[in-house]
Protein backbone atom coordinates (compact mmCIF):
# COMPACT_ATOMS: atom_id res chain seq x y z
CA UNK A 1 0.00 0.00 0.00
CA UNK A 2 1.46 3.32 -1.09
CA UNK A 3 1.33 6.37 1.14
CA UNK A 4 -1.89 8.41 1.03
CA UNK A 5 -1.80 11.88 -0.49
CA UNK A 6 -3.39 15.17 0.61
CA UNK A 7 -4.42 17.37 -2.32
CA UNK A 8 -4.61 21.07 -1.49
CA UNK A 9 -3.86 24.58 -2.65
CA UNK A 10 -2.86 27.90 -1.08
CA UNK A 11 -5.69 29.76 -2.77
CA UNK A 12 -8.11 28.38 -0.20
CA UNK A 13 -6.53 30.86 2.22
CA UNK A 14 -8.22 33.71 0.36
CA UNK A 15 -11.54 34.97 1.64
CA UNK A 16 -14.43 33.78 -0.49
CA UNK A 17 -18.19 33.95 -0.88
CA UNK A 18 -18.44 37.54 0.43
CA UNK A 19 -19.05 38.61 4.01
CA UNK A 20 -22.40 37.14 4.96
CA UNK A 21 -22.40 33.77 3.28
CA UNK A 22 -22.33 30.57 5.41
CA UNK A 23 -19.14 29.55 3.56
CA UNK A 24 -17.35 32.82 4.36
CA UNK A 25 -15.43 30.96 7.07
CA UNK A 26 -12.00 29.35 6.84
CA UNK A 27 -12.44 25.60 6.30
CA UNK A 28 -9.86 23.97 4.06
CA UNK A 29 -7.10 26.31 5.19
CA UNK A 30 -7.62 25.62 8.90
CA UNK A 31 -7.85 21.86 8.37
CA UNK A 32 -4.67 22.01 6.27
CA UNK A 33 -2.88 24.18 8.81
CA UNK A 34 -3.84 21.82 11.63
CA UNK A 35 -2.38 18.91 9.68
CA UNK A 36 0.76 20.87 8.92
CA UNK A 37 1.19 21.87 12.56
CA UNK A 38 0.73 18.28 13.66
CA UNK A 39 3.52 17.22 11.28
CA UNK A 40 1.07 15.22 9.17
CA UNK A 41 1.95 16.66 5.74
CA UNK A 42 5.60 15.72 5.57
CA UNK A 43 7.50 13.37 3.26
CA UNK A 44 5.67 14.10 0.05
CA UNK A 45 2.19 13.72 1.50
CA UNK A 46 1.02 17.08 0.14
CA UNK A 47 0.20 17.53 -3.54
CA UNK A 48 -0.65 20.94 -4.99
CA UNK A 49 -3.95 20.90 -6.84
CA UNK A 50 -3.87 21.89 -10.51
CA UNK A 51 -6.62 24.03 -12.07
CA UNK A 52 -9.04 22.34 -14.43
CA UNK A 53 -8.94 23.79 -17.94
CA UNK A 54 -12.10 24.99 -19.65
CA UNK A 55 -11.92 21.97 -21.93
CA UNK A 56 -11.85 19.71 -18.87
CA UNK A 57 -14.75 21.57 -17.27
CA UNK A 58 -16.82 21.21 -20.43
CA UNK A 59 -16.75 17.45 -20.07
CA UNK A 60 -19.67 17.85 -17.65
CA UNK A 61 -20.61 21.53 -17.63
CA UNK A 62 -22.02 23.35 -20.64
CA UNK A 63 -19.64 25.64 -22.52
CA UNK A 64 -22.13 28.47 -22.07
CA UNK A 65 -22.15 28.05 -18.32
CA UNK A 66 -18.37 27.79 -18.02
CA UNK A 67 -17.96 30.98 -20.09
CA UNK A 68 -20.67 32.80 -18.12
CA UNK A 69 -19.04 31.90 -14.82
CA UNK A 70 -15.63 33.02 -16.03
CA UNK A 71 -16.97 36.35 -17.28
CA UNK A 72 -19.01 36.95 -14.13
CA UNK A 73 -16.00 36.13 -11.96
CA UNK A 74 -13.76 38.51 -13.93
CA UNK A 75 -16.20 41.42 -14.11
CA UNK A 76 -17.84 40.96 -10.73
CA UNK A 77 -21.27 41.40 -12.21
CA UNK A 78 -23.83 39.34 -14.01
CA UNK A 79 -26.73 40.34 -16.28
CA UNK A 80 -30.16 39.40 -14.95
CA UNK A 81 -30.76 36.82 -17.69
CA UNK A 82 -27.48 35.04 -16.93
CA UNK A 83 -28.22 35.11 -13.21
CA UNK A 84 -31.57 33.52 -13.87
CA UNK A 85 -30.30 30.95 -16.32
CA UNK A 86 -27.15 29.81 -14.50
CA UNK A 87 -27.95 30.57 -10.85
CA UNK A 88 -24.87 32.74 -10.31
CA UNK A 89 -24.60 36.14 -8.66
CA UNK A 90 -27.37 35.21 -6.23
CA UNK A 91 -27.45 35.17 -2.42
CA UNK A 92 -26.93 31.41 -2.59
CA UNK A 93 -24.16 31.34 -5.18
CA UNK A 94 -22.57 34.79 -5.00
CA UNK A 95 -19.80 36.30 -7.11
CA UNK A 96 -16.53 37.05 -5.32
CA UNK A 97 -12.95 37.77 -6.39
CA UNK A 98 -11.15 34.61 -7.48
CA UNK A 99 -14.37 32.62 -7.83
CA UNK A 100 -13.58 30.99 -11.18
CA UNK A 101 -10.04 30.07 -10.19
CA UNK A 102 -11.21 28.63 -6.89
CA UNK A 103 -14.04 26.59 -8.41
CA UNK A 104 -11.90 25.27 -11.27
CA UNK A 105 -9.09 24.39 -8.84
CA UNK A 106 -11.52 22.32 -6.83
CA UNK A 107 -12.31 20.37 -10.01
CA UNK A 108 -8.63 20.07 -10.91
CA UNK A 109 -7.90 18.76 -7.43
CA UNK A 110 -10.55 16.07 -7.70
CA UNK A 111 -9.24 15.01 -11.10
CA UNK A 112 -5.71 14.81 -9.69
CA UNK A 113 -6.98 12.93 -6.62
CA UNK A 114 -8.61 10.35 -8.90
CA UNK A 115 -5.44 10.01 -10.99
CA UNK A 116 -3.43 9.38 -7.81
CA UNK A 117 -6.04 6.88 -6.62
CA UNK A 118 -5.65 5.00 -9.91
CA UNK A 119 -1.95 4.77 -9.10
CA UNK A 120 -2.81 3.11 -5.79
CA UNK A 121 -2.58 6.12 -3.46
CA UNK A 122 -5.57 6.93 -1.30
CA UNK A 123 -6.24 10.60 -2.10
CA UNK A 124 -7.79 13.11 0.30
CA UNK A 125 -9.05 16.37 -1.23
CA UNK A 126 -10.94 18.35 1.39
CA UNK A 127 -11.63 21.25 -1.01
CA UNK A 128 -13.74 18.86 -3.08
CA UNK A 129 -17.27 17.71 -2.45
CA UNK A 130 -19.32 20.31 -4.35
CA UNK A 131 -22.01 17.71 -4.93
CA UNK A 132 -24.91 19.99 -5.90
CA UNK A 133 -23.33 21.52 -9.04
CA UNK A 134 -25.34 21.03 -12.24
CA UNK A 135 -24.21 20.86 -15.87
CA UNK A 136 -25.72 24.25 -16.68
CA UNK A 137 -26.05 26.00 -13.32
CA UNK A 138 -24.73 26.57 -9.83
CA UNK A 139 -26.73 25.11 -6.97
CA UNK A 140 -26.45 24.99 -3.20
CA UNK A 141 -23.16 26.93 -2.93
CA UNK A 142 -21.62 24.67 -5.61
CA UNK A 143 -20.52 26.20 -8.94
CA UNK A 144 -19.02 23.09 -10.51
CA UNK A 145 -19.43 19.47 -9.44
CA UNK A 146 -15.96 18.16 -8.61
CA UNK A 147 -17.08 14.70 -7.38
CA UNK A 148 -18.47 14.09 -10.88
CA UNK A 149 -14.99 14.74 -12.30
CA UNK A 150 -13.33 12.41 -9.80
CA UNK A 151 -15.75 9.69 -10.89
CA UNK A 152 -15.28 10.39 -14.62
CA UNK A 153 -11.51 10.20 -14.19
CA UNK A 154 -11.76 6.83 -12.45
CA UNK A 155 -14.08 5.52 -15.18
CA UNK A 156 -11.61 6.75 -17.79
CA UNK A 157 -8.98 4.71 -15.97
CA UNK A 158 -10.94 1.55 -16.68
CA UNK A 159 -13.01 1.25 -13.51
CA UNK A 160 -16.14 -0.80 -14.26
CA UNK A 161 -17.75 -0.80 -10.80
CA UNK A 162 -17.67 2.37 -8.73
CA UNK A 163 -19.34 3.17 -5.42
CA UNK A 164 -20.03 6.79 -4.46
CA UNK A 165 -21.04 7.38 -0.85
CA UNK A 166 -22.17 10.83 0.24
CA UNK A 167 -22.07 11.52 3.99
CA UNK A 168 -22.87 15.24 3.76
CA UNK A 169 -26.00 16.39 5.63
CA UNK A 170 -27.61 17.24 2.28
CA UNK A 171 -28.67 14.87 -0.49
CA UNK A 172 -25.94 14.33 -3.11
CA UNK A 173 -28.40 15.19 -5.88
CA UNK A 174 -26.00 16.49 -8.53
CA UNK A 175 -23.81 13.37 -8.43
CA UNK A 176 -26.75 10.97 -8.34
CA UNK A 177 -28.34 12.62 -11.37
CA UNK A 178 -25.06 12.86 -13.31
CA UNK A 179 -24.63 9.08 -13.33
CA UNK A 180 -28.25 7.93 -13.28
CA UNK A 181 -27.79 6.35 -16.72
CA UNK A 182 -24.32 4.89 -16.15
CA UNK A 183 -24.45 1.21 -15.08
CA UNK A 184 -20.90 1.41 -13.70
CA UNK A 185 -21.78 3.89 -10.95
CA UNK A 186 -23.71 3.16 -7.75
CA UNK A 187 -24.53 6.05 -5.42
CA UNK A 188 -25.51 6.09 -1.76
CA UNK A 189 -26.47 9.25 0.13
CA UNK A 190 -27.05 9.49 3.88
CA UNK A 191 -28.58 12.89 4.61
CA UNK A 192 -30.98 14.67 6.91
CA UNK A 193 -34.59 14.32 5.83
CA UNK A 194 -36.62 17.46 5.20
CA UNK A 195 -33.57 19.55 4.29
CA UNK A 196 -32.78 21.37 1.09
CA UNK A 197 -32.76 20.19 -1.76
CA UNK A 198 -35.71 18.06 -0.49
CA UNK A 199 -34.84 15.17 -2.83
CA UNK A 200 -33.35 11.79 -1.96
CA UNK A 201 -36.31 10.16 -0.27
CA UNK A 202 -35.95 6.48 0.67
CA UNK A 203 -37.98 5.53 -2.42
CA UNK A 204 -35.69 7.50 -4.78
CA UNK A 205 -33.48 5.03 -6.64
CA UNK A 206 -32.38 7.47 -9.36
CA UNK A 207 -31.76 5.51 -12.54
CA UNK A 208 -31.92 2.26 -10.55
CA UNK A 209 -28.54 2.18 -8.82
CA UNK A 210 -29.03 4.97 -6.29
CA UNK A 211 -29.74 4.28 -2.63
CA UNK A 212 -31.00 7.09 -0.45
CA UNK A 213 -31.01 7.01 3.32
CA UNK A 214 -32.78 10.11 4.68
CA UNK A 215 -32.32 10.25 8.45
CA UNK A 216 -34.13 12.14 11.22
CA UNK A 217 -32.82 15.09 13.22
CA UNK A 218 -30.43 14.09 15.97
CA UNK A 219 -28.95 11.21 13.91
CA UNK A 220 -26.37 9.70 16.28
CA UNK A 221 -23.25 7.54 16.12
CA UNK A 222 -25.11 4.28 16.84
CA UNK A 223 -27.55 5.01 14.03
CA UNK A 224 -24.72 5.74 11.60
CA UNK A 225 -23.11 2.41 12.47
CA UNK A 226 -26.41 0.61 11.80
CA UNK A 227 -26.72 2.16 8.34
CA UNK A 228 -23.08 1.62 7.41
CA UNK A 229 -23.02 -1.99 8.65
CA UNK A 230 -26.57 -2.83 7.58
CA UNK A 231 -26.85 -1.08 4.22
CA UNK A 232 -23.66 0.41 2.80
CA UNK A 233 -21.19 -2.40 3.51
CA UNK A 234 -23.56 -5.17 2.32
CA UNK A 235 -24.22 -3.16 -0.85
CA UNK A 236 -20.48 -2.84 -1.36
CA UNK A 237 -20.06 -6.58 -0.91
CA UNK A 238 -22.55 -7.14 -3.72
CA UNK A 239 -21.02 -4.54 -6.06
CA UNK A 240 -17.37 -5.33 -5.30
CA UNK A 241 -16.31 -1.79 -6.28
CA UNK A 242 -13.00 -1.21 -8.01
CA UNK A 243 -13.10 2.40 -6.86
CA UNK A 244 -14.79 4.35 -4.08
CA UNK A 245 -15.47 8.10 -3.96
CA UNK A 246 -16.61 9.58 -0.66
CA UNK A 247 -18.06 13.03 -0.02
CA UNK A 248 -17.49 13.92 3.62
CA UNK A 249 -19.37 17.13 4.32
CA UNK A 250 -18.80 18.26 7.88
CA UNK A 251 -22.38 19.45 8.25
CA UNK A 252 -23.41 16.00 9.50
CA UNK A 253 -21.55 16.73 12.74
CA UNK A 254 -23.23 17.86 15.90
CA UNK A 255 -22.95 21.63 16.26
CA UNK A 256 -23.39 22.50 12.61
CA UNK A 257 -25.57 25.63 12.36
CA UNK A 258 -27.32 24.65 9.11
CA UNK A 259 -28.36 21.10 9.94
CA UNK A 260 -29.48 19.08 12.94
CA UNK A 261 -27.58 15.81 12.79
CA UNK A 262 -25.62 14.80 15.88
CA UNK A 263 -22.65 12.72 14.78
CA UNK A 264 -19.27 12.85 16.48
CA UNK A 265 -16.18 13.18 14.33
CA UNK A 266 -14.83 9.88 15.67
CA UNK A 267 -17.89 8.03 14.33
CA UNK A 268 -17.44 9.62 10.91
CA UNK A 269 -13.70 8.89 10.89
CA UNK A 270 -14.42 5.22 11.52
CA UNK A 271 -17.15 5.09 8.88
CA UNK A 272 -14.97 6.76 6.25
CA UNK A 273 -12.05 4.50 7.15
CA UNK A 274 -14.23 1.40 6.64
CA UNK A 275 -15.59 2.68 3.32
CA UNK A 276 -12.17 3.81 2.09
CA UNK A 277 -10.86 0.28 2.55
CA UNK A 278 -13.45 -1.23 0.19
CA UNK A 279 -11.60 -0.71 -3.08
CA UNK A 280 -8.05 -0.43 -4.39
CA UNK A 281 -8.72 3.13 -5.61
CA UNK A 282 -10.19 5.61 -3.14
CA UNK A 283 -10.88 9.35 -3.29
CA UNK A 284 -12.04 11.12 -0.14
CA UNK A 285 -13.55 14.58 -0.60
CA UNK A 286 -14.83 17.30 1.73
CA UNK A 287 -18.22 18.94 1.26
CA UNK A 288 -20.42 21.26 3.30
CA UNK A 289 -19.83 22.28 6.90
CA UNK A 290 -20.66 25.64 8.44
CA UNK A 291 -19.11 25.44 11.91
CA UNK A 292 -15.46 26.44 11.40
CA UNK A 293 -14.24 24.52 14.46
CA UNK A 294 -15.95 21.22 13.77
CA UNK A 295 -15.02 21.36 10.06
CA UNK A 296 -11.32 21.89 10.76
CA UNK A 297 -11.19 19.18 13.42
CA UNK A 298 -13.13 16.66 11.32
CA UNK A 299 -11.07 17.00 8.18
CA UNK A 300 -7.71 17.25 9.94
CA UNK A 301 -8.48 14.19 12.03
CA UNK A 302 -9.84 12.37 8.99
CA UNK A 303 -6.52 12.84 7.25
CA UNK A 304 -4.75 11.68 10.41
CA UNK A 305 -6.82 8.51 10.50
CA UNK A 306 -6.57 7.78 6.77
CA UNK A 307 -2.82 8.27 6.80
CA UNK A 308 -2.41 6.36 10.07
CA UNK A 309 -0.90 9.18 12.05
CA UNK A 310 -0.45 9.22 15.77
CA UNK A 311 -2.91 11.56 17.50
CA UNK A 312 -1.56 13.82 20.25
CA UNK A 313 -3.09 13.36 23.67
CA UNK A 314 -3.74 17.11 23.82
CA UNK A 315 -3.41 19.75 21.13
CA UNK A 316 -0.22 21.78 21.33
CA UNK A 317 -0.48 25.59 21.62
CA UNK A 318 0.33 26.03 17.89
CA UNK A 319 -2.64 23.85 16.98
CA UNK A 320 -4.95 25.61 19.40
CA UNK A 321 -3.81 28.90 17.92
CA UNK A 322 -5.47 27.81 14.65
CA UNK A 323 -8.80 27.00 16.32
CA UNK A 324 -8.87 29.80 18.87
CA UNK A 325 -9.31 32.83 16.57
CA UNK A 326 -12.04 31.27 14.42
CA UNK A 327 -15.36 33.12 14.38
CA UNK A 328 -18.78 32.30 12.98
CA UNK A 329 -21.76 34.63 12.54
CA UNK A 330 -24.13 31.68 12.71
CA UNK A 331 -22.99 30.47 16.15
CA UNK A 332 -23.38 32.50 19.34
CA UNK A 333 -20.18 32.96 21.28
CA UNK A 334 -21.64 31.20 24.36
CA UNK A 335 -22.43 28.15 22.21
CA UNK A 336 -18.80 27.67 21.17
CA UNK A 337 -17.67 24.64 23.16
CA UNK A 338 -14.29 24.62 24.87
CA UNK A 339 -13.44 21.26 23.29
CA UNK A 340 -13.84 22.72 19.80
CA UNK A 341 -10.85 24.97 20.54
CA UNK A 342 -8.81 22.53 22.58
CA UNK A 343 -9.15 19.04 21.15
CA UNK A 344 -9.25 17.16 17.86
CA UNK A 345 -11.53 14.21 18.68
CA UNK A 346 -15.09 14.57 19.92
CA UNK A 347 -16.50 12.38 22.65
CA UNK A 348 -18.49 9.64 20.89
CA UNK A 349 -22.21 10.31 20.69
CA UNK A 350 -23.99 6.95 20.84
CA UNK A 351 -27.73 6.81 21.37
CA UNK A 352 -30.90 4.86 20.78
CA UNK A 353 -31.40 3.50 17.27
CA UNK A 354 -34.82 4.75 16.25
CA UNK A 355 -37.50 2.95 14.31
CA UNK A 356 -36.93 5.12 11.19
CA UNK A 357 -33.34 3.90 11.02
CA UNK A 358 -34.29 0.22 11.29
CA UNK A 359 -36.90 0.82 8.58
CA UNK A 360 -34.16 1.98 6.19
CA UNK A 361 -32.12 -1.21 6.56
Active site residues: 132
Interface with Zn ion includes 170 (CB under 5 A)?
Answer: yes
In angstroms, the CA 251 to CA 260 distance is 9
At residue 21, the 3 state secondary structure works out as coil
In angstroms, the CA 264 to CA 31 distance is 17
In angstroms, the CA 109 to CA 120 distance is 17
From residue 1, how far is each of 37, 43, 75, 119, 120 by CA, in Å? Answer: 25, 16, 47, 10, 7
Cβ neighbourhood burial of 50 (10 Å; 0-12, 13-18, 19+): middle
We find the least distance from the C-beta atom of residue 304 to Zn ion, in angstroms, to be 23
Output the CA torsion sign for 257, 263, 265, 271.
negative
Which residue has the closest beta carbon to Zn ion?
A: 288
Q: Quick one: which of 113, 169, 232, 266 contacts Zn ion (CB under 5 A)?
A: 169
Interface with Zn ion includes 214 (CB under 5 A)?
Answer: no
We find the least distance from the C-beta atom of residue 147 to Zn ion, in angstroms, to be 12
We find the least distance from the C-beta atom of residue 247 to Zn ion, in angstroms, to be 9
Site stretch for Zn ion (CB under 5 A), options 39-47, 76-84, 161-169, 172-180: 161-169
Nearer to Zn ion, 146 or 242 (CB): 146
Site stretch for Zn ion (CB under 5 A), options 3-11, 19-27, 243-251, 270-278: 243-251
Interface with Zn ion includes 251 (CB under 5 A)?
Answer: yes
Q: Quick one: which of 168, 173, 192, 254 contacts Zn ion (CB under 5 A)?
A: 168
In angstroms, the CA 56 to CA 66 distance is 10
Nearer to Zn ion, 150 or 322 (CB): 150
Cβ–Cβ under 8 Å, residues 306 and 272: yes
Residue numbers 72-111 binding Zn ion by CB under 5 A = none
Residue numbers 271-290 binding Zn ion by CB under 5 A = 288
At residue 208, the 3 state secondary structure works out as coil
Q: Quick one: which of 108, 126, 241, 249 contacts Zn ion (CB under 5 A)?
A: 249
We find the least distance from the C-beta atom of residue 77 to Zn ion, in angstroms, to be 28
Would you tell me which residues interact with Zn ion (CB under 5 A)?
A: 168-170, 249, 251, 288
Amino acid sequence: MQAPVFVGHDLYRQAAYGRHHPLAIPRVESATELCRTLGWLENGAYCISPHASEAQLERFHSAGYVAALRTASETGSVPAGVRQRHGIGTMENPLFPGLFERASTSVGGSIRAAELALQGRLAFHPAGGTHHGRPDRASGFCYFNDPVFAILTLLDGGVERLLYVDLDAHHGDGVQDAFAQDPRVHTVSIHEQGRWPYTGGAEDVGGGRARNLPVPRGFNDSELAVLVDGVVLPLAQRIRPEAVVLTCGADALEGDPLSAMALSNVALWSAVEALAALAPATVVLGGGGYNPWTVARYWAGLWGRLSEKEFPRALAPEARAILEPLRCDLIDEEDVRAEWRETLADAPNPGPVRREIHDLV
